[in-house]
Structure 1
Amino acid sequence: MDSTTPWMRFGALSAAALLALTACGNGNDNGNGTDANGDDAGDGETLTIALNGEEPYSWIDTETGEPTGATIAIAEEIFGERMGYDLQIEEEPTWGNLIPGLTNGHWDVVSAGMSINAERCAEAAFGEPELVYTTALLVPEGNPEGVENFEDLQGTDLNVVAMSGAIEPGWLEELGIEHDTVDSPDDGIDFVQGGRADVFALTAISLETMAGDIDGLEVTDSFIHEFSVGAHAFRSGDEDLVNEFNEHLAELQDSGEYLEIVSEFGFTEDEMPPSDLTAQQLCEEDPAELTEQYAQD
């Protein structure tokens, strides 16, 4: 896809700054997919989209300076080509700032492959499921401690890190595994590479893409701790925008165009969600039951 949409790169916002933001960052007059007169959304209105620097989902290409990634390609196709918005794509490098920035109106949509879970659903609205995730561990080459999953980390004194605001810290806490957090995938990789951490837990495809070829590091085989599916995130109350996005998303998925677009970034049929799975299920149902129902070994 020709990436010609304007964008702005900015640094991480402090928590205090995020709390001070007001709903002035979106291009819609009422933020719900229609303008103040009730006309259809798009058609030259500006939609602000936040990305996070996690390959292969969404990041800024260092060679071209352009936003790219699987979720960005979908956002450009749906919001730009099909819904008619002018897109302003901004980078928020700190994962934990994505939802606060969304809820405080600094951007209209988060396009970062964010997993749907009950905690996040209490703060934001989600489009329908797009990509199934598995988890992996980044370790020194040779995996000297022989860790392959979270259970292997229990009862050890290993220095474990995960990304702040992501789903992995919650899982580690539930299992009683002591850990620290970092702000970004790059930080986690640097911690293991520099010897400040023994293990970095993150989405498997991200670790393979970002660190799989780095000398001295190794990515474990992927595993499923809890069935996890990502989607675009919206402000709560933006039902019209979410519903129109979902209509176009369903068209892309049903036609096979969705897989064709994201396959350019390494995603395969294995990462496509079950056709009967909904965002509402992921928001409301027991994760353990969903894992038992949908997870494939």
Structure 2
Amino acid sequence: MSFKTSALRVGALSSAALLALTACGGDNGDDNGDAVSDEDANVEQGEELTIEEGETLTVAIAGEEPYSWLDDDGEATGAALALTEEILGEQLGYDVEAELTDWDSLIPGLNSGQWDVVAAGMSITPDRCEQASFSEPEIMYTTAFLVEEGNPYDVHDFEDLAEAQEEHGIEVVTLTAGVEAGYAEEVGVDAEGVGSAEDGVDFVEGGRADVFALTAISLEAMAGEMDGLEVTENFAHEVSAGSTVFRFADDELLGEYNDVLADLKDSGELLDIIGEYGFTDEEIPPAELTTEELCEGDIEALNEQYLD
């Protein structure tokens, strides 16, 4: 078996083109002006892209530490990618090639055939479950805010953000397609969307925003030691877990992936793999938590069962 752990390509479609693809379902141009075929555009409606054992799988990553990003040498790395490489590469015998794209393009690019799998620590939500298939839960998430040092607006959860925005007009940013955008909307916070975690950090560092809401472990990894900035204490707005994403048509591959993932959970190897990137027992999903539950989206029941 040939196994490439650091192969990297640049995403072929711009986020704007991919978003238009999923919104309209018609032909769209890519970065080079090439049209996306009707066959590619309709993959999510059931047009199969067959995957044979031993062939190369293109895995989309996004620039968010510690899930998947490019290190200082330009190499693809991260906990989500390492887990996908272990399961798809080492255990199932595929070649794995990482491809960097922005967050908003992950699922549209998957369904248009630009890549075969998404390894970006993506949270499992009912809306996303209508667009693609998720493996069983791999990592649990909590949220934190990146703020000016001293947390001048005293914000510690989304309800605090709503109050601070009403009283002081603070500027809040989230990933455009991140779960934090939905949390903010739920409580009436007007948040601006950004395409990557790095953009969100830059907004706060540059004074263009007062708060960037993101998963706590990402903020600690990316900005926990930045001068003049502070990451608030993590909190759980609701039960949130993420996993690897597949096309609906690739249910056989998903089943194989889940079988290996279950073995890694049972043996404790899951923590060994993601622990190298700062994850702890607290981020390992409860054994009884399932993707089916998260896709159904009964948040009150999930919170009652899984949150302290």
Mapped contact 1:128–1:246 kept (Cα < 8 A): yes
C-alpha displacement of 1:237: 2.2
Mapped contact 1:32–1:241 kept (Cα < 8 A): no
- Superposition TM-score, scaled by structure 2 size: 0.87
**1:62–1:10 CA distance, 2 compared to 1 (3 A):** farther
C-alpha displacement of 1:30: 4.8
**Are positions 1:198 and 2:210 aligned together?**
yes
C-alpha displacement of 1:11: 7.1
- Superposition TM-score, scaled by structure 1 size: 0.90
Mapped contact 1:207–1:219 kept (Cα < 8 A): yes
C-alpha displacement of 1:24: 6.2
1:105 aligns with: 113
Residue 278 (structure 1) aligned to one of 285, 290, 300: 290
C-alpha displacement of 1:4: 3.6
1:174 aligns with: 186
The equivalences for 1:115-264 within 5 A come to 115-155=123-163, 156=165, 157-264=169-276
- Give me the whole-angstrom Cα distance separating, in 2, the residues matched to 1:242 and 1:119: 19
**1:30–1:16 CA distance, 2 compared to 1 (3 A):** closer
C-alpha displacement of 1:56: 0.4
Mapped contact 1:211–1:217 kept (Cα < 8 A): yes
**Are positions 1:6 and 2:7 aligned together?**
yes
**Are positions 1:69 and 2:81 aligned together?**
no
Higher helix share: 2
1:36 aligns with: none
2:32 aligns with: none
Mapped contact 2:59–2:96 kept (Cα < 8 A): yes
**1:114–1:4 CA distance, 2 compared to 1 (3 A):** closer
- Give me the whole-angstrom Cα distance separating, in 1, the residues matched to 2:193 and 2:297: 27
C-alpha displacement of 1:42: 2.0
Structure 1 counterpart of 2:72, one-letter code:
T
Structure 1 runs of 4+ aligned residues shifted over 3 Å read 2-5, 20-26, 29-33
Structure 1: give runs of 5+ residues left out of the alignment. 34-40
Mapped contact 2:18–2:109 kept (Cα < 8 A): no
Structure 2 counterpart of 1:52, one-letter code:
A
Identity of aligned residues (%): 52
C-alpha displacement of 1:288: 2.3
Residue 300 (structure 2) aligned to one of 263, 278, 288: 288
**Are positions 1:16 and 2:26 aligned together?**
no
Give the aligned CA root-mean-square deviation in angstroms.
Answer: 2.0
- Give me the whole-angstrom Cα distance separating, in 1, the residues matched to 2:261 and 2:298: 25
Mapped contact 2:18–2:105 kept (Cα < 8 A): no
Residue 69 (structure 2) aligned to one of 59, 73, 76: 59
Cα deviation 1:92-128 (Å, max 9, x = unaligned) = 1x21111111111111110001000100000000000
Mapped contact 2:125–2:297 kept (Cα < 8 A): no
Mapped contact 2:66–2:278 kept (Cα < 8 A): yes
Larger displacement relative to structure 2 (202-211 or 80-89) = 80-89
Structure 2 counterpart of 1:61, one-letter code:
D
Structure 2 counterpart of 1:78, one-letter code:
I
- Give me the whole-angstrom Cα distance separating, in 1, the residues matched to 2:172 and 2:50: 41
2:95 aligns with: 86
C-alpha displacement of 1:8: 1.1
Structure 2 counterpart of 1:109, one-letter code:
V
Structure 2: give runs of 5+ residues left out of the alignment. 22-27, 29-35
C-alpha displacement of 1:208: 0.4
1:42 aligns with: 53
Give the paired residue count.
Answer: 283
Mapped contact 1:132–1:229 kept (Cα < 8 A): yes
SS of 2:266's equivalent in the other structure is: helix
SS of 1:226's equivalent in the other structure is: coil
Mapped contact 1:137–1:148 kept (Cα < 8 A): yes
Structure 1 counterpart of 2:7, one-letter code:
P
C-alpha displacement of 1:293: 1.1
- Give me the whole-angstrom Cα distance separating, in 1, the residues matched to 2:64 and 2:156: 22
